[in-house]
Amino acid sequence: MTSHPPAPQPKYQRIAEDLRRDIDSGRYRPGDRLPGENDLMATYGVARMTARQALGVLKDQGVAEARRGVGVFVREFRPIRRRGIQRLSGRTWGGGESVWSADIASRELTVDQLSVTERGAPGRIAAVLGLKGDEPACVRSRRFVLDGKPVLLSDSYLPAALVAGSRITDPDTGPGGTYARLAELGHKPVHFQEQIRSRMPAGDEAERLALAPGTPVFLVHRIAFAEDGQAVEVNEMVLDSASYVLEYDFDA
């Protein structure tokens, strides 16, 4: 069998790899301006399009961002450490804290898009919640913004009959959030199940999360169960993967 040598790597990819090594080594730090197209043309003896493609690779990888009229900069990455176990502890929301308190400490978190509606749930969610026929769900849809950057889209589904008349149907659910209110209603969550996967975002997701081209999203599907085994909430979340580190800390 005749072996063939690997195809030569395009020049723009080699330039992008050089720049990525310089970023990883600390030569260029978060917030630093990277060499521009003219600089790369002079250094590597390439055409403008090749230099532009090299910078485009770094932007697509989410490690660099363009600032109009200024240049391309190393992205300032201060990740959200999503502590998947601590954030759902009853000590957190049972004590009146937001589940986010385990993730962000004193950073500024806001919800800039919020709706609370009563409507039918998708079939797969209605089945988990045990909704029959045309039984509606209370749906809480939110966009979370951290330090001025959209980071998460969330749609939370609860049986409408279960939460009717409670603060769960209000925009502000109060201290401890939805789980604390469910506990007050006699349906305290005692068990959670989360599934996480990754994919490329839909167009509206990319727009609402202000994602750089090529940035995938994490999908988190969470079910909260009461002591009797009843599913009392299904939460479907879309996370900007470039903004998160998923962290799990538990004993063997």
Number of domains making up the chain? 2
Q: Is residue 3 part of a domain?
A: no
Check residue 65 and give its pLDDT.
Answer: 84
**Do residue 15 and residue 89 come from a single domain?**
no
Q: Is residue 216 part of a domain?
A: yes
CB 150 within 8 A of CB 182: no
Q: Give the angle 240-246-249 at the CA atoms, nearest 5°.
A: 165
**Do residue 97 and residue 198 come from a single domain?**
yes
pLDDT in tens, the chain (252 residues): 556 666 678 999 999 999 999 988 989 998 899 999 999 999 999 999 999 999 998 887 778 888 888 999 998 767 788 877 777 787 777 787 777 777 777 778 889 999 999 999 999 999 999 999 999 999 999 999 988 889 999 999 999 999 999 999 999 999 999 999 999 999 999 999 999 999 999 999 999 998 877 789 999 999 999 999 999 999 999 999 988 888 888 788
- The residue from 74, 93, 111 where one domain ends is 74
Alpha carbons 167 and 185: distance in angstroms, whole number: 10
**Do residue 129 and residue 182 come from a single domain?**
yes
Check residue 2 and give its pLDDT.
Answer: 59
**Do residue 100 and residue 34 come from a single domain?**
no
Q: Are strands 80-83 and 244-247 parallel, antiparallel or unpaired?
A: parallel
Q: Which residue spans within 17-148 are E strands per DSSP?
A: 64-67, 71-74, 80-83, 109-119, 137-146
Q: Is residue 116 part of a domain?
A: yes
Alpha carbons 226 and 220: distance in angstroms, whole number: 20
Q: Is residue 170 part of a domain?
A: yes
Q: Which of 146, 155, 153 minimizes the C-alpha distance to 79?
A: 146
**Do residue 131 and residue 21 come from a single domain?**
no
**Do residue 69 and residue 157 come from a single domain?**
no
Q: Is 76 helix (H, G, I), strand (E, B) or coil?
A: coil
Q: Is residue 2 part of a domain?
A: no
Q: Check which CATH number belongs to the domain holding 57 and give it.
A: 1.10.10.10
State the Rg of the chain over Cα. 23
**Do residue 84 and residue 117 come from a single domain?**
yes
CB 46 within 8 A of CB 53: no
Alpha carbons 79 and 94: distance in angstroms, whole number: 26
**Do residue 149 and residue 52 come from a single domain?**
no
Check residue 124 and give its pLDDT.
Answer: 95
Q: Is residue 193 part of a domain?
A: yes
Alpha carbons 131 and 159: distance in angstroms, whole number: 7
**Do residue 209 and residue 118 come from a single domain?**
yes
**Do residue 47 and residue 70 come from a single domain?**
yes
Q: Is residue 5 part of a domain?
A: no
Strand partners of residue 113: 143
- The residue from 74, 93, 109 where one domain ends is 74
Q: Which of 200, 167, 201, 199 minimizes the C-alpha distance to 183?
A: 167
Q: Which residue spans within the chain are E strands per DSSP?
A: 64-67, 71-74, 80-83, 109-119, 137-146, 149-159, 189-199, 217-226, 231-240, 244-247
Q: Is residue 153 part of a domain?
A: yes
- The residue from 74, 93, 114 where one domain ends is 74
Q: Check which CATH number belongs to the domain holding 229 and give it.
A: 3.40.1410.10
**Do residue 68 and residue 180 come from a single domain?**
no
Domain holding 131, by residue range, is 80-247
**Do residue 225 and residue 104 come from a single domain?**
yes
CB 158 within 8 A of CB 175: no
